[in-house]
Structure 1
Amino acid sequence: MSRMKFICDAERCIECNGCVTACKSEHEVPWGVNRRRVVTLDDGVPGERSISVACMHCSDAPCMAVCPVDCFFRTDDGVVLHDKDICIGCGYCSYACPFGAPQFPTNGTFGLRGKMDKCTFCAGGPEAHGSEAEFEKYGRNRLAEGKLPACAEMCSTKALLGGDGDELAEIFRTRVLQRGKGAEVWGWGTAYGGGKPPAAKTEAGKS
């Protein structure tokens, strides 16, 4: 049985935000909510990286554990979804999620909470697949159409991958083996084609 997962290759992400735009356009996401966002780590310093973040559809999802009304459920494909008809907007899931995936649309001046919204892995919700009610609450059900999430399909550098977890792990393993490992991934050899920097060679020759 497949286990649908996301993985973002920080070595390939160029912070174009194409995944964010694709998600909002595909599902007409409510104002003030980003089901997917691009986060920059170590911004402005050497080694800066960007990574696309959304619900990771955890195997042991903390949002499911803390929800007092059990609005979360997991599909046969391992996708964590929620029922907006049951959600009471308490916000517990938002505090429990380490990725900040559950979000609430802001209504009114004081930001009153509505029903929680989050990434669905383009798998819709509990309503009938392809129905108007499903699209209105959860967005388009691409998985039912035999397609992958829009964010992953729109990624120009294929940094963001979505699909069966075992297949994604094999793809990422292949990339890592091709790139090398350890510090050398971003070291002198990567930039200039191998070998030690001149200064290091000089110091080695003196000893």
Structure 2
Amino acid sequence: MARMKFICDTERCIECNGCVTACKNDNEVPWGVNRRRVVTVNDGIIGKEKSISVACMHCSDAPCMAVCPVDCFYRTDEGVVLHDKDICIGCGYCSFACPFGAPQFLSSGAFGVRSKMDKCTFCSGGPEANGSVAEFEKYGRNRLAEGKLPLCAEMCSTKALIGGDGEVISSIYAKRVSVREANGKYPSKEVFGWSTAYGPMDAPAPKPTPAAKIPGAKS
């Protein structure tokens, strides 16, 4: 079974925000929430400026799952970390625990009253039936059920953002590094967020959440 992961190659990202636009458009993400965003560090410093596309990394040992008091988070067989909005109480613990700032709350009203948490789903929907209206309204499009990868990665014009089987995408990045070294370029071999989210490259696959804990799932 594939372990679905994200990689962002900072040597290729051009801060076009195509991934951000693709995500918001395809999933009809509500105003005020960005499931994916592009962050630029060392902005304006020649030779040191780097842009990074950031979203939920679907961590192997997800801190959001550890701190949620109502256990609304669960992990699929593919290693994707999802959540059940019907269970979420909007406490905000997950947003504080996440090192990538992925969980966000839709604010409404003059004082920004919180609602249910929202985050990247790796385009794999939620606990509702695949392709159902309820699933799309709460979580967006389920592209994995359609046999497709996340649209943010597919729409990346420079292929800086890659999503898919962790072994495949890590091998792609390793090949890029070897080519750059052969050409006299020496970028860091530590890809952004990988060790934080997934641990060592040879780390064991995370265990999926038992079906009995997923609302509506069949055991």
TM-score (norm: length of structure 1): 0.88
Q: 1:143 and 2:144 equivalent?
A: yes
Q: 1:44 and 2:49 equivalent?
A: no
TM-score (norm: length of structure 2): 0.83
CA distance in 1, matches of 2:3, 2:185: 32
| Partner residue, 2:64 | 63
CA displacement at 1:30 relative to structure 2: 1.1
CA distance in 1, matches of 2:127, 2:97: 23
**Structure 1 unpaired stretches of 5+:** 187-207
Percent of residue pairs identical = 78
1:77-135: per-residue Cα shift (whole Å, max 9, x none)? 00000000000000000000000000001110000000000000000000000000000
Structure 1 residue identity aligned to 2:110: T
| Partner residue, 2:26 | 26
Q: Which has the higher helix share?
A: 1
CA displacement at 1:184 relative to structure 2: 3.9
CA displacement at 1:44 relative to structure 2: 1.0
CA distance in 1, matches of 2:58, 2:32: 22
CA displacement at 1:163 relative to structure 2: 0.1
RMSD, aligned CA? 1.1
1:48-68: per-residue Cα shift (whole Å, max 9, x none)? 000100000000000000000
Q: Which has the higher contact order (CA 8 A, sep 6+)?
A: 2
SS at match of 1:64: helix
| Partner residue, 1:202 | none
CA distance in 1, matches of 2:165, 2:50: 25
SS at match of 1:121: coil
CA displacement at 1:185 relative to structure 2: 3.0
**How many residue pairs end up in the alignment?**
185
1:148-204: per-residue Cα shift (whole Å, max 9, x none)? 0000000000000000000011000000000018x9437xxxxxxxxxxxxxxxxxx
| Partner residue, 1:159 | 160
**Structure 2 unpaired stretches of 5+:** 188-219
SS at match of 1:69: coil
Structure 1 residue identity aligned to 2:36: R
Say whether the 8 Å CA contact 1:39–1:52 is kept in structure 2.
yes
CA displacement at 1:33 relative to structure 2: 0.2
Say whether the 8 Å CA contact 1:23–1:150 is kept in structure 2.
yes
1:4-29: per-residue Cα shift (whole Å, max 9, x none)? 00000000000000000000000000
